Amino acid sequence: MKKYAGLWLIGAISVVACAGCNPPADYALVGSAYVPAAQGDIRIEKIDREQMMVVVAMDHLSPPAVIEPGMTHYVVWFSVVGEYPIPQQALEYNAETRTGRASIPTSLRELDVRITAEPSESPTQPSDLVIASQKIREK
C-alpha cells in the first residue's frame, strides 16, 4: 500500500507543478488536391488571457507557380464562422526545403484558418487555390 501512496504523491505533485502550464494545442494540416504531399500543423500558444499565437508550419510545399502559373506566395487567412476571410500574412516560404512558416497573433478563439496560393503577398480576397484549411476552437 505504501508503494501506491508514494506513486500517488508523485502524480499529485506533477499535476500541481504543471497546473499553470499552458501546453500548446496542435491541429493537423493536410494538403489539398493542389498539393497532396503537403502536410503540417497549427500550434496554438497562449500569450496571455486575451491573445494567442497561431503558428502555421507546412512541409512538402511545391513552389506556388507550380500549382498555377503566376502564383508567387502562400497566404494565411483567418475567418470567423460565417464571415469573409481576412488576409493575415504570407507564409515565409523556403523553396530549397519546400517549407512554409508563419506566426500570427490573434484574440480570436474560434476561427477558420485557410492557406491559399496567391499572385501577390497581400491579396484582397482569397483565390480558389486552397492548399490547406483547419478549424480552430480554443477556450
DSSP output for 14-62: HHHHTTT--PPEEEEEE--TTSTT-EEEEEEEE-SSS-EEEEEEEESPP
Q: What is the pLDDT of residues 89-119, one digit of tens each?
A: 999 999 999 999 999 999 999 999 999 999 9
- How far apart CA 76 and CA 67 sit, in angstroms, is 16
- How far apart CA 91 and CA 116 sit, in angstroms, is 10
What is the pLDDT at residue 24? Answer: 57
- How far apart CA 29 and CA 133 sit, in angstroms, is 7
What is the pLDDT at residue 6? Answer: 43
Domains and CATH numbers, the chain: 22-137 (2.60.40)
Cell numbers 503540417: residue = 40
What is the pLDDT at residue 36? Answer: 92
- pTM of this prediction? 0.81
First to last CA, the chain: 39
For the chain (139 residues), the mean pLDDT of every run of 10, in chain order, is 43 41 72 92 92 96 95 97 92 97 95 96 96 90
